[in-house]
A and B are shown apart, each in its own frame.
Chain A
Amino acid sequence: MELQAKHSGEDVKRLQRCISDLISTMALPALWSGGDPSQIGRTLIDVLHRMLHLELIYVNLKDPQGEPGVEMARMDSSSSRAMPPGEVGAMLQQFMGNDPQKWIARIDGRVGDRSLSFVPLQLGLHGELGLLVAGAERSDFPGPTEELLLRVASNQAVIALHDFRRRNEQKRQADELDRRVAQRTRELAAANQELELSQQQLCKTEERTRMIIDTALNAVVTMDASGMVTSWNKQAETVFGWSSDEAIGQRMSELIIPPPQRMSHENGLRHFLATGEGPLLQRRIEVNSFRRDGVEFPVELEVIPLKVGDDWVFSAFVRDITESRRAQEKLRQSELNLRQMTETIPEMLWSATPDGAIDYCNTRFLDYTGVAADEIMGDGWTRLIHPDDVDAAAREWAACVAGGTPYRVEVRAIHASGNTHRWCVMNALPLLDKDGCILKWHGTVVDMHDWKQAQETLRHTQAELANLSQVMTMAQLTAAIAHEVNQPLSGIVTNASTCLRMLNADPPNVEGARETARRTIRDGNRAADVISRLRALFSKRQAATETVDLNEAAREVIALLLNMLQRARVSLRSELADDLPLVAGDRVQLQQVIMNLVQNASDAMIDVHDRSRQLLLRTRRDEADHVCLSVQDTGVGLDSQAASRAFDPFYTTKSGGMGIGLAVSRSIIENHQGRIWARPNDGPGTTFSFCIPRSPSSEFVEVPPNSSRGSAANSPAEVARNL
């Protein structure tokens, strides 16, 4: 009886020590939070050495990036000579071999003159985090509680190492924990002072262990073999909503397991007690748990069974992962949103990896090209581009990828309908991180085929219109003529000056003077040639005859001059008659006249600042069935003398003018058997008009290039009569 009591007393002591050690071990993550692997290793060695009285402990922690890991060892001082950790590792490897699959729970080996038993424990599921080896001389090493403590400690180290690898999250939690530990320690210090006066050492120790477990990262709960709660830490109170007093003595399954799963929990417990099999034990699992308010929430959980005497104690370490689940769900949702957007947005979108390989095209893109996604990925996109454009596009892409510069090319891309190519603009921008490195390329493809064709047509029309000197503005023409004439004129003046000087010399240089005079005459003839060449430019040209819609011709001129007019701040209004008959003539020449009149009208308003600069272009059909066009300005106006001379060659009122524009215009209109005149407005400004006969029919009418001017009635006198 007494023996039995003593026996059970020892059991209780052993159990108390074991629980105390276990609790200390469980508190390790708190010590390790924010720590690096070497700190984790050091503490692990300290704690195990202290608890288990080991002769040798060896820790090898691997580095996730493949850098050299942390290797440390401690050997009992009484044992043989001190060895550096590397040597210990090599020695252990000799005992254990290289293949962890073949390791047994206990390996024997000799160190110096002592034979030791070693327990190798892989850190992580496949030893990916490292290795822990504990060795002792005792023959019964490891006992069941020692094995449990080693396993729990290595488990805790795994948690700490995992947490170290997830540094950001860990950091946040560590800060919070530090704060709480500091606070607790302060409270503890205060409590200790009081307790020291009145309470025994044991009480203080109990208090401390309770405090430590309360500050543990995880909720820690234990139950006995009958399924009743035996301990419940502070964190568990927060997580499950039951206080420690309320929880202890209740059925564990009723407190934390959702009703549908309670049955299987109870069955699992019974099965383990009967057979020792527990597939869900001693590993991390994710399950749903149950809070006091009835809300289910996801947890990460590990249950460790512990045999104490003949009874089993189950410890569960529970972590609420609601937040991380929520974050995952949010990320998934945001990815889904983005995907939905890229698939529904009415644009062709694509993306590429930093090295320029296409990794995504949206459906619209695929529908447009009619090519399957996997054919486009990587550098397959080049098959979408017209063979003539592909080299330049690929070269540009390579350059942009190398330099991180925006990509923009105009290429012909394949179109699903009938294997045709259409003009597209491909654009892409790099997404950069804060260091300026490319994270991703995002690109678009825009079909601009119709726009491009319209531009092409417009350019073609403009080129036609711009033919030869017809669109050369009068100012440009004037400058060109001035240059041509001034060149020989310069020779004339210089030669004449030289000639005079030679004649004035004493004695006169008659031979030199004769030579320079000869050159003077030659340059004079050259100047005359220039003038006749100019005349030829305007008179000898064979007029093309066709039926011309003067409204249409005027519209084209307006389109061409619109920019110029806007720059000159001239507002143009046109009143084009609906019933305008066609005329027979040279469309380009007539447009030259219209352009000249509009240009003159704009020039006439250049000095107008006190009123609006308005230009009115009108077409009408007159009583004699002529087609008339007039251009009215609000400019400085012409006096009657100026109006009568306006169409004379080389008469000008403009500082930059040569006086050719209206003379040329008159010759063109007269060639069309029409007439042209100027008339002052009732208000400010002048109106220039011309009239030409309508085309007799839709047939082409031959217009003689040098038709008689007799009937054209455009002498200065005629102009004056029209005023």
Chain B
Amino acid sequence: MDIRSLVSVVDDDESVRESLPDLLREFGFAVQPFRSGEEFLASEYAEHTKCLILDIAMPGMSGFDVQRELKLRKQRIPIVFITAHKDETVRKAVVEDGAVACLLKPFSDTALFQAMCAALALQ
């Protein structure tokens, strides 16, 4: 396994799974994309992930469901939510629930980088 910090990206949208890992690798992270929350939770990467980038609206488990499941497992992985829905109440709710940030798609590379730094600083 790569000794760089592992970032997992969970999004049902293929273009996000293609583009976001490339950008994160440019930042210097090791990246593993997943098409669903179930796939991520079942993988061996789940316990080594240092930061989780998580889409909110997905078929099957939503981002909230994944966050809740991790809490139940007592796995404290910093989470950066990404969403295409502009909804201030949802954003507030997830941050209050322990997420590092909630980024509205499309987001700039600077915004993403700041959120990543905040997430990894937590560890």
Which residues of A are interface residues toward B (Cβ below 8 A)?
Answer: 479, 482-483, 486-495, 497-498, 501-502, 505, 512, 516, 519, 522-523, 526
**Proximity bits, B1-42, A CB within 8 Å = 1, else 0:** 000000000000101101110110010000000000000000
What chain A residues lie within 8 Å of B13 (beta carbons)? Answer: 487, 490-491
What chain A residues lie within 8 Å of B19 (beta carbons)? Answer: 490-491, 494-495, 498, 516, 519, 523
Verify A490–B22 contact, CB threshold 8 A: no
What chain B residues lie within 8 Å of A489 (beta carbons)? Answer: 105-106
Ordered by A's residue number, 21 sampled pairs between the chains whose C-beta atoms are within 8 Å are A479-B85, A483-B84, A486-B105, A486-B106, A491-B13, A491-B15, A491-B16, A491-B19, A491-B106, A492-B106, A494-B16, A494-B22, A495-B19, A497-B23, A498-B19, A498-B22, A501-B26, A502-B26, A512-B22, A523-B15, A526-B15
For the complex of A and B, the 5 pairs showing the least CB-CB separation, nearest first, are A491-B15, A490-B105, A497-B109, A486-B84, A493-B106
What chain B residues lie within 8 Å of A512 (beta carbons)? Answer: 22
> A487-B13, A487-B15 are contacts. A494–B20 as well, Cβ < 8 Å?
yes
Q: How far apart are B54's CB and chain A's nearest CB, in angstroms?
A: 14
> A479-B85, A493-B106 are contacts. A498–B15 as well, Cβ < 8 Å?
no
> A483-B85, A501-B23, A512-B22 are contacts. A519–B107 as well, Cβ < 8 Å?
no
What chain A residues lie within 8 Å of B43 (beta carbons)? Answer: none
Q: How far apart are A598's CB and chain B's nearest CB, in angstroms?
A: 25
Verify B15–A493 contact, CB threshold 8 A: no
Q: Does B74 contact A (CB under 8 A)?
A: no
Verify A482–B84 contact, CB threshold 8 A: yes
Q: Compute how far the CA of A495 lies from the CA of B26 in the bound complex, rounded to whole angstroms.
A: 11
Please, which residue of chain A has its CB at the minimum distance from the CB of B12?
Answer: A487
> A482-B86, A491-B19 are contacts. A498–B105 as well, Cβ < 8 Å?
no
Q: Compute how far the CA of A512 lies from the CA of B26 in the bound complex, rounded to whole angstroms.
A: 11
Q: Does B108 contact A (CB under 8 A)?
A: yes
Q: How far apart are B47's CB and chain A's nearest CB, in angstroms?
A: 27
> A492-B106, A494-B109, A495-B19 are contacts. A487–B26 as well, Cβ < 8 Å?
no
> A490-B107, A491-B15, A493-B107 are contacts. A498–B85 as well, Cβ < 8 Å?
no
Verify A490–B26 contact, CB threshold 8 A: no
Q: Which residues of chain B (57-108) have a CB below 8 Å from chain A?
A: 57, 82, 84-86, 104-108
The one of A491, A497, A502 in contact with B18, judged by C-beta atoms closer than 8 angstroms, is A491
Please, which residue of chain B has its CB at the minimum distance from the CB of A494?
Answer: B19
**Proximity bits, B105-120, A CB within 8 Å = 1, else 0:** 1111100000000000
What chain B residues lie within 8 Å of A493 (beta carbons)? Answer: 106-109
The one of B57, B84, B85, B86 in contact with A490, judged by C-beta atoms closer than 8 angstroms, is B84
Q: Compute how far the CA of A526 lies from the CA of B15 in the bound complex, rounded to whole angstroms.
A: 10
Q: Compute how far the CA of A522 lies from the CA of B86 in the bound complex, rounded to whole angstroms.
A: 24
Q: How far apart are A331's CB and chain B's nearest CB, in angstroms?
A: 62
Q: How far apart are B35's CB and chain A's nearest CB, in angstroms?
A: 15
Q: How far apart are A496's CB and chain B's nearest CB, in angstroms?
A: 9
20 extra A-B contacts, CB within 8 A, seeds A486-B104, A487-B105, A497-B109: A479-B85, A482-B86, A483-B84, A483-B85, A487-B13, A490-B15, A490-B105, A491-B15, A491-B16, A491-B18, A491-B19, A492-B106, A493-B106, A494-B23, A494-B106, A498-B19, A498-B26, A512-B22, A516-B22, A523-B19
What chain A residues lie within 8 Å of B84 (beta carbons)? Answer: 482-483, 486-487, 490
> A482-B84, A501-B26, A502-B26 are contacts. A490–B109 as well, Cβ < 8 Å?
no
Which residues of B are interface residues toward A (Cβ below 8 A)?
Answer: 13, 15-16, 18-20, 22-23, 26, 57, 82, 84-86, 104-109
Q: Compute how far the CA of A519 lies from the CA of B15 in the bound complex, rounded to whole angstroms.
A: 8
Verify B23–A519 contact, CB threshold 8 A: no
What chain A residues lie within 8 Å of B108 (beta carbons)? Answer: 493, 497
Please, which residue of chain B has its CB at the minimum distance from the CB of A501?
Answer: B26
Q: Compute how far the CA of A659 lies from the CA of B16 in the bound complex, rounded to whole angstroms.
A: 28
Please, which residue of chain A has its CB at the minimum distance from the CB of B87?
Answer: A479
What chain A residues lie within 8 Å of B18 (beta carbons)? Answer: 491, 519
Q: Compute how far the CA of A50 lies from the CA of B108 in the bound complex, rounded to whole angstroms.
A: 115
Q: Compute how far the CA of A502 lies from the CA of B26 in the bound complex, rounded to whole angstroms.
A: 7
What chain B residues lie within 8 Å of A505 (beta carbons)? Answer: 26
What chain B residues lie within 8 Å of A526 (beta carbons)? Answer: 15
What chain B residues lie within 8 Å of A482 (beta carbons)? Answer: 84-86
Q: Compute how far the CA of A526 lies from the CA of B19 in the bound complex, rounded to whole angstroms.
A: 15
What chain A residues lie within 8 Å of B23 (beta carbons)? Answer: 494, 497-498, 501
Q: Compute how far the CA of A494 lies from the CA of B16 in the bound complex, rounded to whole angstroms.
A: 8
Q: How far apart are A192's CB and chain B's nearest CB, in angstroms?
A: 88
Q: Compute how far the CA of A488 lies from the CA of B11 in the bound complex, rounded to whole angstroms.
A: 13
Q: How far apart are A454's CB and chain B's nearest CB, in angstroms?
A: 37
What chain B residues lie within 8 Å of A497 (beta carbons)? Answer: 23, 108-109
Q: Compute how far the CA of A495 lies from the CA of B109 in the bound complex, rounded to whole angstroms.
A: 10
Q: Compute how far the CA of A274 lies from the CA of B20 in the bound complex, rounded to whole angstroms.
A: 126
Please, which residue of chain A has its CB at the minimum distance from the CB of B82?
Answer: A490
Q: Compute how far the CA of A523 lies from the CA of B105 in the bound complex, rounded to whole angstroms.
A: 14
Please, which residue of chain B has its CB at the minimum distance from the CB of A497?
Answer: B109
What chain A residues lie within 8 Å of B16 (beta carbons)? Answer: 487, 490-491, 494
Please, which residue of chain A has its CB at the minimum distance from the CB of B19?
Answer: A494
Q: Compute how far the CA of A284 lies from the CA of B116 in the bound complex, rounded to whole angstroms.
A: 101
Please, which residue of chain A has its CB at the minimum distance from the CB of B104?
Answer: A486
What chain B residues lie within 8 Å of A483 (beta carbons)? Answer: 57, 84-85
Q: How far apart are A470's CB and chain B's nearest CB, in angstroms?
A: 23
Q: Compute how far the CA of A493 lies from the CA of B111 in the bound complex, rounded to whole angstroms.
A: 12
Q: How far apart are B24's CB and chain A's nearest CB, in angstroms?
A: 9
Q: Compute how far the CA of A516 lies from the CA of B23 in the bound complex, rounded to whole angstroms.
A: 10
Q: Compute how far the CA of A497 lies from the CA of B23 in the bound complex, rounded to whole angstroms.
A: 7
Q: How far apart are A29's CB and chain B's nearest CB, in angstroms?
A: 75
What chain B residues lie within 8 Å of A490 (beta carbons)? Answer: 13, 15-16, 19, 82, 84, 105-107
Q: Which of B19, B20, B57, B109 has the most CB of A within 10 A?
A: B19
What chain A residues lie within 8 Å of B104 (beta carbons)? Answer: 486
Q: Compute how far the CA of A656 lies from the CA of B121 in the bound complex, rounded to whole angstroms.
A: 35
Please, which residue of chain B has its CB at the minimum distance from the CB of A488?
Answer: B15
What chain A residues lie within 8 Å of B86 (beta carbons)? Answer: 479, 482
Q: Compute how far the CA of A90 lies from the CA of B85 in the bound complex, rounded to whole angstroms.
A: 95
Q: Compute how far the CA of A512 lies from the CA of B23 in the bound complex, rounded to whole angstroms.
A: 11
Please, which residue of chain B has its CB at the minimum distance from the CB of A516?
Answer: B22
Please, which residue of chain A has its CB at the minimum distance from the CB of B14?
Answer: A491
Q: How far apart are B18's CB and chain A's nearest CB, in angstroms?
A: 6
Q: How far apart are B28's CB and chain A's nearest CB, in angstroms?
A: 11
Please, which residue of chain B has its CB at the minimum distance from the CB of A486?
Answer: B84
Q: Compute how far the CA of A599 lies from the CA of B113 in the bound complex, rounded to whole angstroms.
A: 41
Q: Compute how far the CA of A482 lies from the CA of B23 in the bound complex, rounded to whole angstroms.
A: 24
Q: Compute how far the CA of A405 lies from the CA of B72 in the bound complex, rounded to whole angstroms.
A: 35
